[in-house]
Structure 1
Amino acid sequence: MKNILEGYKVLDCSIAMAGPFAGQRLGDLGADVIKVEPVAGEWQRHVSAGGARGNQVNVSFLSLNRNKRSLAIDLKSDEGREILYRLVREADVFLQNYRPGVAPRLGVDYETLSRLNPRLVYASISGYGEEGPYKLRPGQDLLLQGMSGAMMSAGRAGDPPSPAGQYLVDAVTASTAFEGVLAALLHRERTGEGQLVQVNMLDSIIALQMQELSVFSVGGKSQQRSHEPHAHVYIRAPYGVFKTADGYITLAFPSMKNLATALDAPALAAMDDEKDTFERRDEIYAMTREKLLNRSSAEWLQIFGDLGIWAGPVYGYDDVIRDPQVEFNQTFVEYEHPTEGRVKTPGFPIKFSRTPSKVARGAPLAGEHTREILRELGMQATEIDQLLASEVIGESRPPEKSPAETQAHPQTHAGNTP
């Protein structure tokens, strides 16, 4: 059974998170994603994530580069650039997140590559945009979170701004680039025309706040943080994380009547849901906080559930992985990697009834598929050996697996089986 993007070829020249994550999603849908990286390997191969390292492939790189083949090549050399041009002529997508000015200097800008292949969808990811006063600023996730305004939409007045607990800007930029490539491919199917797709991190994180920024820009309501740690400045109380007798739960804008019943707090029943829950946020939060300390999380979740009040547990990652709905959804995929062993990682989040995504391969070693890809271009073994000797290209070979080891760890597909 074919995957949705089977037959499409993607050249992924990106580094770090946003670009590789977008490329991985294309690979999850069946595209042949060739990761074009320096002979020594992409920068992210050589840094740890949260102190975690792998055997030969570190955790960060491993998580963002499955379903790709690796071509290790020196694009600063004439021979290496010519190999890339040969690949471009038969590619469908070119993905890069070079600093502004680097792509033209390497001879891999849209104007150059579109002349070689007018049907090429060329996706370029930048931090702030490829022109303008900030174009040379570093496009790093936390810096963009700070600029986006989002840090002031939660927390307590007087407290420091609240950054997200994940690489939020990188992740939403990856999703935006993924959507942009798919839309451009649909346009090409209809017209035969390729095009340039430009995505930047600043616009992506601003667009994610469609409601919040519109409340400000259209409704004229500024971000007023309250004295209690409210979870969102534009949502009525109570809304946030609350301590219980044995842990924490989340609670989201219940009706005051139902909350009064749950907490045995008659004063809440007299409050107006729309008016008082904004104007008296601190009072409501404090009252709720004190009451919730009297029972366990499980007890409160049962009480709130019976009254139709939205509440839920607060998880750590160990809880997430064991959650019965997460297990039922097959949210995580598992597969065997030749150097890292058994890998368990979040899968592709969209389920297709006829064309499920799958893990065809884990993250490659640097240059693991160099020889294979060049053979597909028609190069002979002697020519490939000469390029290796001159260090225009590089290759790595995974350790051999015994038949017994291969059978012990079959691949696990992500998505529903039709």
Structure 2
Amino acid sequence: MSILEGYTVLDCSIAMAGPFAAQRLGDLGADVIKIEPVGGEWQRHQAAGDARGNRINVSFLSLNRNKRSLAVDLKSPGGRRVIERLVAGADVFIQNYRAGVAGRLGVDYETLSAINPRLIYVSMTGYGEDGPHAQWPGQDLLLQAMSGAMLSSGRKGEPPQAAGQYLVDAITAYSAFEGALAALLHRERTGVGQKVEVNMLDAITTIQMQELSVYTVGHVPQERSAEPHAHVYIRSPYGTFATRDGYIAIAMPNFPGLARALEEPRLDGLDPDIAGWHQRDETFALVRGAVAKYTSREALDRLLAEGVWSGPVYSYADLLADPQIAHNRTFVEYDHPTEGRVKTPGFPIRFSRTPSAVRRGAPLTGEHTDEILGAAGFGEAELAALEAEGAIGRGRP
């Protein structure tokens, strides 16, 4: 039995953060019903990297496995009746509309909890449901910029650089996933549902627990170096360095070992606290020049032999070829009816008794409308009437 088998999740979210959180619940066995417009969710039509599929683009495919699709127009009276009937038997409802939109659609917490007091209602916003920034667009890059983290790395005087992944979306998704699980545990103990609020600004801020405490408690300012030091609160050398054929990363080395590995005697005898904190640029430049003499493999072999923390800088191709990734079974593969063989990151938590599984790939728009609503008690005549008024879409595989 899967951990969440028997639980029903209504996923009324769009883009990345909300669908990713709902997918995690589906990976643990919940029956996740993706509620999307009759014309399909926005992400179906906007793929990252323009990575288009056959009938489902790669972005949507990656964020919506283990879900069934119900196509319904929430703005129509018939559509609202459909949602109200489903909510009565649901366990979790997830939405990530901009503040105020859920209320206008009639799917706010007050309305839905009145129908089902046991409901766990997860509300995801960019900045919070109220406050001075409540109506600002909650987009990953904008939240990365606002979080302060961009000014902890890179060169002094140069524009800050964003992370190489949709970091805020992912962290917010995991926060919502954790919140839903915690609220379900509370409900198991008390029988009472509740509202769970998650916002992107708090999610990206609070994962910087250590860094922001260094600033708020230790009063150490963010001071970027002229050299591309990887983080303002770690001693130099710390970052990526060019070799003769690529790049390697070096983290918090012992200076005698670094000197021997790179055959750079000027590094030997340096005081890590003085050189690492107060002569960051000079130290970084010295290591950069020494590393450049070697290939990546040569440099890593020498550094690792001296106990210097170092490693390769991978491309995605390198990552997929790594033996540890294969050993961990980090990626899952399954056959999708329209997209063929799919290889994608799996669920990262291992359970000894209740492993996660891919039970179905991402659905087509409205693929499961008849199945879902039929189980909720809608007869064929009622379904036909709802389709005729445009309240639902009855997609076919």
TM-score range, shorter chain: over 0.9
**1:111-157 residue CA offsets vs partner (Å, 9 max, x unmatched):** 11111111110000000001001000000111111100011010011
**1:227-268 residue CA offsets vs partner (Å, 9 max, x unmatched):** 110011111011000011111100001011211121222232
Identity across aligned pairs (percent)? 65
2:193 pairs with 1:194: yes
Contact kept? 2:262, 2:299, Cα under 8 Å? no
2:293 pairs with 1:294: yes
- Separation in structure 2 between the aligned mates of residue 296 and residue 267 of structure 1, nearest angstrom: 21
Match of 1:241 in 2: 240
- Separation in structure 2 between the aligned mates of residue 133 and residue 15 of structure 1, nearest angstrom: 23
- Local SS of the residue matching 1:50: helix
- Local SS of the residue matching 1:274: helix
- Separation in structure 2 between the aligned mates of residue 257 and residue 291 of structure 1, nearest angstrom: 14
- Separation in structure 2 between the aligned mates of residue 20 and residue 42 of structure 1, nearest angstrom: 10
TM-score normalised by length of structure 1: 0.94
Q: Residues 11-410 of structure 1 correspond to what in structure 2 (within 5 A)?
A: 11-398=10-397
- Separation in structure 1 between the aligned mates of residue 131 and residue 34 of structure 2, nearest angstrom: 29
Equivalent position amino acid for 1:345 in 2: T
- Local SS of the residue matching 2:195: strand
- Separation in structure 1 between the aligned mates of residue 93 and residue 302 of structure 2, nearest angstrom: 53
- Structure 2 stretches lacking a partner, 5+ long: none
- Local SS of the residue matching 1:21: helix
Equivalent position amino acid for 1:116 in 2: I
Equivalent position amino acid for 2:299 in 1: W
Greater mean alpha carbon deviation, residues 14-23 or residues 304-313: 304-313
- Separation in structure 1 between the aligned mates of residue 244 and residue 266 of structure 2, nearest angstrom: 23
Give the aligned length.
397
- Local SS of the residue matching 1:124: strand
Equivalent position amino acid for 2:134 in 1: K
- Separation in structure 2 between the aligned mates of residue 104 and residue 137 of structure 1, nearest angstrom: 17
- Separation in structure 2 between the aligned mates of residue 270 and residue 295 of structure 1, nearest angstrom: 23
Q: Displacement, 1:37? A: 0.7
Contact kept? 2:262, 2:302, Cα under 8 Å? no
- Separation in structure 2 between the aligned mates of residue 381 and residue 151 of structure 1, nearest angstrom: 55
Q: Displacement, 1:274? A: 2.5
Equivalent position amino acid for 1:388 in 2: E
Greater mean alpha carbon deviation, residues 59-68 or residues 74-83: 74-83
Match of 1:408 in 2: none
**1:158-207 residue CA offsets vs partner (Å, 9 max, x unmatched):** 11111111111101000111011111111111111110100000000001
- Local SS of the residue matching 1:143: helix
- Separation in structure 2 between the aligned mates of residue 147 and residue 34 of structure 1, nearest angstrom: 33
- Local SS of the residue matching 1:363: coil
- Separation in structure 2 between the aligned mates of residue 314 and residue 214 of structure 1, nearest angstrom: 29
Equivalent position amino acid for 1:123 in 2: V
Q: Displacement, 1:305? A: 1.2
- Separation in structure 2 between the aligned mates of residue 48 and residue 27 of structure 1, nearest angstrom: 22
- Local SS of the residue matching 2:112: helix
- Separation in structure 2 between the aligned mates of residue 55 and residue 149 of structure 1, nearest angstrom: 40
- Separation in structure 2 between the aligned mates of residue 395 and residue 292 of structure 1, nearest angstrom: 61
**1:307-339 residue CA offsets vs partner (Å, 9 max, x unmatched):** 111111111111111111111111111111111
Equivalent position amino acid for 1:117 in 2: N
TM-score normalised by length of structure 2: 0.98
Q: Which runs of 4+ in 1 moved over 6 A?
A: none
**1:5-31 residue CA offsets vs partner (Å, 9 max, x unmatched):** 111100000000000000000000000
Greater mean alpha carbon deviation, residues 383-392 or residues 133-142: 383-392
Contact kept? 2:262, 2:303, Cα under 8 Å? no
Q: Displacement, 1:221? A: 0.6
Q: Displacement, 1:391? A: 1.8
Equivalent position amino acid for 1:149 in 2: G
- Local SS of the residue matching 2:273: coil
